């Protein structure tokens, strides 16, 4: 498999990339900063909100048949405090970019009659999150798009799914607690813990396998029980 992971310089993306490498796949990674990507043989430097065509060309050139849309941005803010530039940045990075990259990957997948697309959403796109309305909207958009694309691409052997992590033990997760302490957040999670990046990588390992060929259009909450209730 030729697997591309966006936002692979740290956190969830890096865990996915390292896991895929350990499984022997051909791994291609992308992020805005070059230095963290130098440990990988194949990488593309790209800001998804500015020069995404570069990554689109890279996808076509390297015949990517597994696309992991992981890169994302988060802003904790009341709606009235959001600037138009912030709204555009979030929507471009979290929703428009994944859809564009899918459009560039799909022609080869159709030709091959096989492909896997996994979007990393968020539990905030399932449940909503006060103070993160634009982020939640962008992640909810990925869920809707995956359902439609799953129908559109099913006959070509291409599956499209969304994983919705809850609080994840990464730099981004630990810095996104807003006005609350990490201990207060954990007290509201049924399993009383943050999800590890490795758990998400493990779910992707399954979703791209032949055993999961019948799983498509699904929104999978990997959130330590957060979506169930408290």
Catalytic residues: 135
75/90 Cα distance (integer angstroms):
8
Contacts of 210 (CB under 8 A, 6+ apart): none
Distance between CA 126 and CA 218 in Å, rounded? 12
Question: Which residues, at least 6 apart from 184, have a Cβ–Cβ distance to it below 8 Å?
Answer: 177
Q: Is 115 helix (H, G, I), strand (E, B) or coil?
A: strand
Helix (H) or strand (E) holding 2: strand 2-6
Report how far residue 152's alpha carbon sits from residue 114's, in angstroms, rounded to the nearest whole number: 13
d(CA 220, CA 161): 8
Q: Do residues 55 and 6 touch, judged by C-beta distance below 8 A?
A: yes
* Beta-carbon contacts of residue 2 (< 8 Å; ≥ 6 apart): 25, 26, 28, 62, 63, 64, 65, 66
Instruction: Give the residue among 141, 169, 151 at the shortest CA–CA distance from 216.
Output: 151
The closest of 36, 147, 85 to 13, measured between CA atoms, is: 36
């Amino acid at each position: 498999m030729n697997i591309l992971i966006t936002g692979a310089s740290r956190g969830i993306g890096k865990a996915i990339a390292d896991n895929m490498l350990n499984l022997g796949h051909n791994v291609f990674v992308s992020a805005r900063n070059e230095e963290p990507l130098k440990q990988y043989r194949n990488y593309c430097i790209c800001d998804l909100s500015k020069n995404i065509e570069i990554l689109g060309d890279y996808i076509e050139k390297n015949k990517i048949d597994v696309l992991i849309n992981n890169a994302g941005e988060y802003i904790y803010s009341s709606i009235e405090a959001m600037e138009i530039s912030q709204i555009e940045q979030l929507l471009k990075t979290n929703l428009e970019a994944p859809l564009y990259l899918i459009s560039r990957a799909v022609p080869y997948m159709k030709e091959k009659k096989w492909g896997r697309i996994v979007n990393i959403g968020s539990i905030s796109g399932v449940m909503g999150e006060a103070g993160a309305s634009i982020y939640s909207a962008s992640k909810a958009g990925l869920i809707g798009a995956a359902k439609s694309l799953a129908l559109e691409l099913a006959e070509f052997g291409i599956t499209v799914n969304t994983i919705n992590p809850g609080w994840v033990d990464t730099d981004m997760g630990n810095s996104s607690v807003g006005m609350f302490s990490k201990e207060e957040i954990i007290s509201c999670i049924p399993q009383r813990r943050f999800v590890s990046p490795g758990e998400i990588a493990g779910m992707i390992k399954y979703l791209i396998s032949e055993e999961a060929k019948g799983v498509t259009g699904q929104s999978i909450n990997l959130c330590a029980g957060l979506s169930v209730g408290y």
